[in-house]
Amino acid sequence: MHTREEKMAAFGRLLDVMDDLREKCPWDRKQTNESLRPNTIEETYELCDALIKDDQPNICKELGDVLLHVVFYAKIGEEKGEFDAADVCNKLCDKLIFRHPHVYGEAKANTAAEVLQSWEQIKLKEKDGNKTVLSGVPEALPSLIKAYRIQDKARNVGFDWDEPKDVWKKVKEEISEFEAELDHMDKDAATREFGDVMFSLINAARLYKINPDNALEMTNQKFIQRFNYVEAKLKEKGKTFKDSTLDEMEHYWQEAKHK
């Protein structure tokens, strides 16, 4: 691993490269906050993909891509005379120090749970902090992740189930309400109730310390692998899905499960 001096030098080198690109490269010179935003989202998802696969070389690579965007936005801010990379780092350090009084102050917290209990209250005390507990949840978050963050923030201020097992009654209640709306053939009402079912299941996952987004992605990957196996087996027989029976597909699906 590198020394502190080597790490500082590497970050300084990145800043120098960013300065060069912004001055000399037509594409980099043309970019704005608005034009970079879609790429930032894509790079973030690529990092998440590497993280869920625990692909260490790719995690390193994708972290670099995300860091490039951080430095890029800071450079644009510097050109506008608003802020620069030093401001970004200093503001982050100030926030981290303020939010960790058990490290930099006299507060006591011996477990992660104790830290989280005071997290939201500390954030509300910040001069430019969130005006409400849930206002810090970005509107642009994907709905599944947003639901998890909403529930997690509510938990941090004590709004939560006493016991994880208590949530199952709510899950069953929401499923029953969804089924009732399906019987009524009211699509809008059924859509709302299905949202309630998903919200309650995400809540259950959170209570049992399961990340629902990771869990769903694992299932996505599992389905892809099994579906690809079925498709490959059908091709070996000179068939496509269109001219195969459901029984044939199910046979290969079960094979894929056992493999």
In sequence order, what DSSP letters do the residues of 114-183 get, joined into one string? HHHHHHHHHHHHSTTS-SSTTTTS-TTS-HHHHHHHHHHHHHHTT-S-SSGGGHHHHHHHHHHHHHHHHH
Which tens digits make up the pLDDT trace of 133-192? 888 788 888 899 999 999 988 887 888 988 999 999 999 999 999 999 998 888 899 999
Q: What is the mean predicted confidence (pLDDT) over 21-29?
A: 97
This prediction's pTM: 0.65
Which tens digits make up the pLDDT trace of 42-51? 999 999 889 9
The CATH superfamily assigned to 4-80 is MazG-like (1.10.287.1080)
Q: What is the pLDDT of residue 124?
A: 64
Give the least confident one: 82-86, 136-140, 223-227. 136-140
Kindly write down the DSSP assignment for every residue of 15-59, as one continuous string.
HHHHHHHHHH-HHHHH--HHHHHHHHHHHHHHHHHHHHTT-HHHH
Pick the residue with more confidence: 17 or 120?
Answer: 17
Domains of the chain, residue spans: 4-80, 161-210, 214-258
- Rounded to whole angstroms, the Cα distance separating 62 from 41 reads 12
Q: What is the pLDDT of residue 122?
A: 74
Q: What is the pLDDT of residue 115?
A: 76
